[in-house]
Structure formats: C-alpha cells, structure tokens
C-alpha cells in the first residue's frame, strides 16, 4: 500500500514539474519578440546593436533634418545632444510629431540608418518620454519645459 502512495506522489510531482517547464517555455516563446531595449543615440555610438536586433531609439528630432520622400517615406535624424542617428520611416507619423520634439521609434539598424516600424511622439506640449529625458540629462542638454 505504501509503495502505491509513494508512486502516486512521484507521478504527481513529475507531472507538476513537466507542467511548470512547459509554462515557462510558453511564456519565454511569447516574449521572444515583445521585449525591446531602449537606446539613446550616444549609447548606440558606444555600443552598436547586433545585426537584426529590434530595439527602441529615442531622442529629439534634429531641427532641419525632416525630409519627406516619395509616398509615405520620411527621413530625419534623432539626437540626444551627444550623437545623432539617421532614421527612415514609412507610414503615417503621429499628429504631434515635429522637429525639436521628443520621439521614440521601434525598429532595427540597416547599415548606418535606423529603419523604424513604429514612431511614438509626445502627446502634449510638456510630455517627453522618461527614457528620452534621462538620455538628454546624461548629455547635459535637457531643458525643463515647466520652468
């Protein structure tokens, strides 16, 4: 009788361990493309991304660099005061996207150009993403719009 209880207990533990491993594997599989690291232009200059790596790039849109191409293709440069990265985006930009304003783009590097698949811009006059503020403060070029 004891060996039957012991065998049942072992079977339950093995089944629970297998279920746990399966759950962890499914969660990892689901997150494989969902986690994108943030980088500022200066960080990219110091530590370039790997080929094909999807990440978020943020900073200020450099004044005088916004150029509209054929169709919906737009190119501009993003800076954090220390470095500048050329960006290309095909699609419709947010209404509040403008030169000299903060933005974050998701995409990957193709050569020396960041090709964005998504662009996020500020949603009011004083908002700027926390990551962009931190990278601008690091470069010493952040100006608080509320002061």
* Binding-site entries for heme: 123, 127
Six-digit token string for 146: 């509320």
**DSSP-derived secondary structure for 48-72:** PPPTT--EEEEEEEPTT--EE-STT
67 vs 89: CA distance, rounded Å: 11
Binding site listing: 123, 127
What count of residues does the chain have?
147
133 vs 87: CA distance, rounded Å: 19
């Amino acid at each position: 009788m004891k060996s039957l209880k012991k065998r049942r207990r072992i079977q339950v533990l093995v089944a629970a361990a297998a279920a746990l491993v399966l759950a962890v594997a499914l969660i990892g599989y689901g997150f494989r493309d969902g986690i994108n690291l943030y980088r500022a232009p200066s960080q990219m200059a110091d530590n370039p991304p790997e080929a094909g790596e999807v990440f978020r790039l943020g900073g200020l849109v450099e004044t005088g660099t916004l150029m509209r191409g054929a169709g919906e293709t737009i190119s501009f440069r993003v800076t954090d005061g220390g470095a500048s990265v050329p960006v290309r985006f095909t699609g419709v930009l947010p209404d509040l996207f403008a030169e000299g304003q903060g933005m974050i783009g998701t995409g990957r590097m193709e050569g020396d150009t960041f090709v964005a698949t998504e662009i996020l811009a500020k949603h009011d006059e004083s908002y700027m993403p926390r990551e962009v503020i931190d990278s601008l403060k690091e470069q010493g070029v952040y100006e608080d719009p509320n002061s």
